[in-house]
Structure formats: structure tokens, C-alpha cells
Amino acid sequence: MKPAWAALLAALLGAGAPAFAQSSTRDTPPALQRAVATYRTGDLATAEAELRRLAPGNADAAAWLGAVLIDRGRSGEGLQVLQAALAAGSPEAAHQLGVVYAQGLAGVTRDDPYAAKLFEQAATAGVHRAQIDLGVLYMRGQGVPRDLVQARGWLEKAATSNDPYALYALGRAMETSDGAATADPVRATDLYRRAAEQGHPLAALRYGLALSDGDGVRPDAAAAQRWLLAAQKDGVPEAALALGDITARSLNARDKAANAKILENAAAWYRLAAEAGVPSAQFKLANAYAAGSGVGRDLGQALAWYGRAARQGLPEAQLALGVLTMGGAAGAADPVEGYKWLLLADRGGNADAHMVLEKAAGQLAEPDRKRAEALAAGFAAKPERPARNVPPPLARPQQP
């Protein structure tokens, strides 16, 4: 994968591993599958009634009942049911409780080491969702030492079921190098393909990017666009950002009319992702407004989009917002606010921010600099899109 896009994905999708697995029912005993499937559709009342009928004498049914009760807001009862099912030897209870402690659900204090212990208990008993989650913990170094070899080992076990969530998580693990574990882009891309064909939208995004870059697979622009369009349609706005980048790269220096249309299309893709809260797309849409590229030149719009990306913590946007705000390019100048954004861009590691910051420092009196520094110290990024703690829903299976 090209370095720029790899960095982009790390920022947008999280440098860690996928969310904890709770959606699959592939390792659910046949007697429980209907009740669990009902639970997954959101019909909690019907699922509870069915699981209450099954729970006597069936510790795994009791475990699922505990999970349903927690989801229904009856955390105390749900935890008691789960603890009793765990004591009765239910691997499912170990997994469900592991998720509770890994995320700090149901009013419990988050306890990563205990979650890892519970996941390992369930994973060893063959619960493949627990194998995924234990692999995730090893990828993150959450509750256990970071160990990509261990992560891959558990994810390989889970992936033998051909579960799309396991395939995607293993693909993430195969993309990374750490110690004795080296990246295998060919394997990672094939895993993404297999997960994408089963409707995993994030896998469709990564497979589309791999096809575009020729990363682990022969480049195929048409197939890349098809998979990225599928990911975008299935709720992954980062795919619109990628489509905007692909479109922008197709400029033809000899055809100005065609280029104008290409830039319009690229800006339209950026807008889709920007309106969905993707900070890098907001930054690129702001650049388009600042330059009049694909949209009419409008510094007010540029300032607004830079502001949204900057408040999410994107250093490039913070730098641009700081320069515009200090100079009053789109309204009244505000040197203190502008200097604050320059400080944040510099602290965020933007390569150009330090030089700009040094020049700007001479324009402020010391009290104003101190005010700006205090504002920067109190800044906390506010993502527009909450972190995903559950796997994305599967879309309709895609044809190769």
C-alpha cells in the first residue's frame, strides 16, 4: 500500500485492530441459533423470552440471556446471570464477560487483563469470536503484551471458519510487521477479498485500495472503483475520500475541459466524505475551496471546513486554519486564535508548522502568546464520528 494511503488509513480507521467480535453466530449451538439470530436483529424482547425458556440446564443459553439483559439496560441481573453461567462452565459466558470487561460495559470497571483471561478461556474452548477478540488484544497490546505472532495465531484459528470478521482481522494483522512477524501484503489482500465478498464493508475498502495501488494484487482500476463504491454505499465514507483521490489523480494535462470535470467529481467525492465527518476529506474539500479547484473559490467555506477538520485534531488543517485566522484571510484577523492553531499543528507533528510558528511568534505580544498557549493546552480533539466498538454490519455479499 502506498505510504500516504497507509498513513491515511491508520488515521481514519484506527491504528489498532478491529472492534470486538459480537455479530457472528457461526459457532452458536444449533439449539440457540434462532434465539441468537433474533437478538442480532434487535428484537430483544423475543430473544429474552426464547433464551429464558432455554436457559434452565443450558449454561450457554444463560450466557446469551445475560448479554440480552445487559443490552436491555438490566445490567445487574445480566451480570448475575453471566457470572452463574461462567461458574457452570460456559465458554460463551467467558466470552460475553470478556467483552463486558474489555469495554467497561454494564457499569463494571474496565479490566483489560481480566478480559484477556476470559477471552483465552473461551478461545481455548473453541469460541471463534473469542479467538478474534483475543487476537485483537494481542494486536493492540491491551491487557496482554503486544505480540503479533500470538495475534496471528489466534486469528488463524478463527479464520478457519471463513468468518468475514476473522478474515478481516487477520488481514489487518498480516499487513503489519513487528519483530519476528513480517508483513505479507499478498496474504492480507487475499483475506480482504474473501471478507469483502461476504459483505464486510471495511474489507471492501481495503481491497479496493489494494487493487488501486497494486498492493499484493495485480492493479485493476475498474475493480478498485467497484469495491470502493460498494464500501461507500455500505456506510464507509473513507471510501468516498479514496474515490476522490483516485479521481483527482486522473487529470490530463492536455484537456482543460476534461480536467475541470474531473476536479468537480473529485470535490463531490470529498464533500460526501467530509459531510460524514472524515477529517482528511474536510481538509481536502477546504483546499478545493481555497484554490477554486472543482468548486467556486470561497475562503469562508475553506475556513469552515478547515475548522471542522482542525477541531478533530488534524494537524494539516490546524496549520491552514492558523494561517488564515492570523491573517484574517476570510474575515477579521484573530492572532491569538490563529497562533493557538499553529501551536497545535506543531505539537501534532506537522512538518511545516514549526517554521510558520516561529515567524508568527514575532507578531504577538507576550501576553497574547501566553493566552494562545493556554488555549492550546486546554484543547481536546472532538471526533465527529464515535469510535466503533462493534463490528460493522455485513452488507449483501459481493460478486468477485
Do 217 and 296 fall within a single domain? Answer: no
User: How many percent of the chain have pLDDT more than 90?
Assistant: 83
Q: Is residue 242 part of a domain?
A: no
Do 191 and 226 fall within a single domain? Answer: yes
Q: What is the pTM of this model?
A: 0.87
Do 30 and 160 fall within a single domain? Answer: yes
Candidates 296, 376, 306; CA nearest to 340 is 376
Q: Is residue 393 part of a domain?
A: no
CA atoms within 13 A on the CB side of 237: 17
3-state secondary structure of 178: strand
CB under 8 Å to 342, separation ≥6 — which residues?
Answer: 318, 319, 322, 323, 326, 353, 356, 357, 360
pLDDT for 400 equals 62
Rounded Cα gap, residues 317 and 319, in angstroms: 5
CATH number of the domain that 81 lies in? 1.25.40.10
Do 225 and 119 fall within a single domain? Answer: no
pLDDT for 252 equals 77
Structural domain that includes position 164: 15-169
pLDDT for 22 equals 57
Rounded Cα gap, residues 206 and 9, in angstroms: 9
Rounded Cα gap, residues 65 and 39, in angstroms: 10
Do 286 and 222 fall within a single domain? Answer: no
Rounded Cα gap, residues 28 and 128, in angstroms: 10
Domain count, the chain: 3
Average pLDDT of the residues in 261-283: 97
195-228 pLDDT per residue, tens: 999 999 999 999 999 999 999 999 999 999 999 9
Q: For residue 360, what is its C-alpha cell? A: 508568527
Q: Is residue 179 part of a domain?
A: no
Q: Is residue 398 part of a domain?
A: no
- Model confidence band, residue 14 (pLDDT cutoffs 50, 70, 90): very low
pLDDT for 3 equals 37
Please state which of the ranges 12-16, 66-70, 308-312, 332-336 shows the lowest mean pLDDT. 12-16
Contact 144, 113 (CB under 8 A): yes
Average pLDDT of the residues in 304-310: 98
Rounded Cα gap, residues 111 and 135, in angstroms: 17
- Model confidence band, residue 394 (pLDDT cutoffs 50, 70, 90): confident
Average pLDDT of the residues in 72-77: 96
Q: For residue 297, what is its C-alpha cell? A: 473559490
3-state secondary structure of 65: helix
Rounded Cα gap, residues 66 and 58, in angstroms: 13
151-176 pLDDT per residue, tens: 999 999 999 999 999 999 999 999 98
